[in-house]
Structure 1
Amino acid sequence: MRFQDHAVLVTGGGSGIGRQVCISAAREGARVAIGDLDAQRAGAVAEEIRRQGGEAHGFALDVADQASVHAFVEGAETALGRLDVLVNSAGVREIASVLDLPLEEWQRVIAINLTGTFLPSQAFARRLVAQGRPGRIVNLASTLGLVAAPNRAAYVASKHGVVGLTKEMALELGEKGIRVNAVAPGVIRTPLTERYFQDPELSQMIRGLHATASWGEPEDIARAILFLAEEANGFMTGSVLTVDGGWTTGKKM
């Protein structure tokens, strides 16, 4: 198995893509630390993995709070005995025009999506560098880290920031043996987007946006994340892997 006995830390692991990363990594032999703002959700995913014969530990985690992040990384290392992979999956979005977006909502989205990628990455990398150990970081960007969409100024800005941060960290940490990559998902059916799929017209429109005439599932993104986190892909760093069913390829006319 690709991640046998490796320690994989996942932020936002209590639901959606993060949850699927935790489950998929555990099936590949990883020991998993699940961080989530909702400690009960993190614990439930950990219990699900343990029922399947894996090892997992749930932690309360606020990715925008430095003390909480440090406690998560330290607690994960204590529980798992080592650090190998960090997946930054925690994220939120807003829907409001640039003219109507409240400052508080802008700050919330930037704090969770961008600062909440920086702080865990910094804490994780510092411990690896201090120990002289290699590691891998995979960030969850978005197709909206590559292009824009209406009424999502904070989300688009934050995900463009994640793409830039991924490249910067890859540049600085590569010689220390730490690879940093990102995945840019398209429209994925998760609890965050589920309401789109409850509307037949809207779900059909989503199909039409994609070259594959379909939307993505969390498993599609988890596979891409684990691909980037594999030790075998040691020459990949600073990359942004787009997994979007062809949505950014071009418009159907």
Structure 2
Amino acid sequence: MRFQDQAVLVTGGASGIGEQVCLAAAREGARVAVGDLDAARAEAVAAAIRAQGGEAIGLGVDVAHPDSAAAFIAGAEQALGRLDVLVNSAGVREVVSVLDLSFEEWNRVISINLSGTFLPSQAFAKRLVAAKRSGRIVNLASTLGLVAAPNRAAYVASKHGVVGLTKEMAMELGTAGIRVNAVAPGVVRTPLTERYFQDPEMADTIRGIHALGRWAEPKEIAAAILFLASEECGFMTGSILPVDGGWTAGKKM
């Protein structure tokens, strides 16, 4: 198993893509720290892993606040005995015109998506460097970290920021043995996006923007994340892996 006895930490681990990463990592032998703003839900996911014979803990974390992010990394290391992989999956989005986007909403999205990637990563990397240990970070970017879409100024800016941050961290941390990569999913059916799929016209639009003619399921993105976190791609760092059903391959005329 690719992650036997390794510690895999996941923010946003209580639902959607993050939850699927937690479950899949546990099936591959990982000790899992499920981090989420909803601590009760994080513990529920951890309990489900333990019920299947795995090792997991649930921890509350607000990734947008330095002390909370650092406490999550420290708590996970204390409970699991080591640090190997960090997956930054926590995220939010807005759907509003750039002309109507409030500064408060702009700050909320940037803080969670971008600062909420930086802060856990920094705390994780500091501990690895101090201990002279290698590790892997996988960030959740988006196709909207590569291109733009209407009514998502903060989300697009934050995910472009995640792409840049991934490359920067890879450059700075490579000689310490820390690889940093990101996935860039297309539209994924999660609790965050579920309302899109309740509108038949919107569902058809989503199908149409992907070359495969469908949207992604969270487990498909989780599989790509764990690939990047594994030693199968030991010479990959600073890479942004589109897992987008052909969205960015081209535009249908």
TM superposition score normalised by structure 2: 0.99
Matches within 5 A, 1:53-72: 53-72=53-72
Q: Extract unaligned runs of 5+ from structure 1.
A: none
Displacement of 1:182 after TM fit? 0.2
Distance 1:101 1:199 in 2: 24
Distance 1:159 1:202 in 2: 22
Match of 2:170 in 1: 170
* SS of residue matched to 1:248: helix
Matches within 5 A, 1:104-143: 104-143=104-143
Matches within 5 A, 1:25-64: 25-64=25-64
Distance 1:228 1:102 in 2: 36
Matches within 5 A, 1:79-158: 79-158=79-158
Q: Percent identity among equivalent residues?
A: 78
Render the CA deviation track for 1:72-101: whole Å, top value 9, x for unaligned.
Answer: 111000110000000000000011111100
Match of 1:232 in 2: 232
Distance 2:196 2:69 in 1: 32
Render the CA deviation track for 1:184-217: whole Å, top value 9, x for unaligned.
Answer: 0000000000111111221122111111011100
* SS of residue matched to 2:14: coil
Distance 1:108 1:76 in 2: 26
Render the CA deviation track for 1:129-154: whole Å, top value 9, x for unaligned.
Answer: 00000000000000000000000000
Displacement of 1:4 after TM fit? 0.3
Q: Extract unaligned runs of 5+ from structure 2.
A: none
Distance 1:228 1:10 in 2: 14
* SS of residue matched to 1:188: coil
Displacement of 1:232 after TM fit? 2.9
Displacement of 1:61 after TM fit? 0.2
**AA at the equivalent of 2:239:** S
Distance 1:131 1:37 in 2: 28
Displacement of 1:31 after TM fit? 0.4
| Greater Cα offset, 226-235 or 166-175 | 226-235
Distance 1:120 1:205 in 2: 35
Pair 1:202 & 2:202 matched? yes
| Paired positions, count | 253
* SS of residue matched to 2:249: coil
| Greater Cα offset, 197-206 or 136-145 | 197-206
Render the CA deviation track for 1:33-70: whole Å, top value 9, x for unaligned.
Answer: 01100001101100111111111100000000111111
* SS of residue matched to 2:91: coil
Distance 1:40 1:204 in 2: 35
* SS of residue matched to 1:62: coil
